[in-house]
């Protein structure tokens, strides 16, 4: 199965992206600060990683 990493994903455009990728059969990983509730917490095929998008170390851990 294909997978995609979305930086952000819990707010406006990100929510639509997650739904589109899930509908296309992708596994989705959300990478964000964790400051907003994860609207996909109970969805199969969605993983969440909290981290700092400005930190290459955090991003490296996500991929």
**How many domains is the chain built from?**
1
- The answer to whether residue 11 sits within a structural domain is yes
**Could you tell me the pTM of the whole model?**
0.80
pLDDT over 90 (residue 20)? yes
Query: Are 24 and 3 spatial neighbours (Cβ–Cβ below 8 Å)?
Result: no
Residue 50: name the closest of 1, 9, 3 by CA.
9
Q: Which domain holds residue 4?
A: 1-25
The larger pLDDT score, comparing residue 27 to residue 49, is at: 27
What pLDDT band is residue 26 in, cutting at 50, 70 and 90?
A: very high
Instruction: Give the per-residue pLDDT at 36.
Output: 85
Residue 6 lies in a domain: yes
């Amino acid at each position: 199965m294909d997978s995609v990493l979305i930086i952000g994903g819990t707010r406006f455009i990100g929510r639509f992206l997650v739904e589109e990728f899930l509908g296309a059969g992708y596994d989705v990983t959300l990478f964000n600060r964790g400051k907003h509730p994860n609207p996909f917490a109970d969805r199969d095929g969605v993983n969440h990683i909290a981290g700092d998008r400005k930190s290459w170390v955090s991003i490296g851990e996500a991929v």
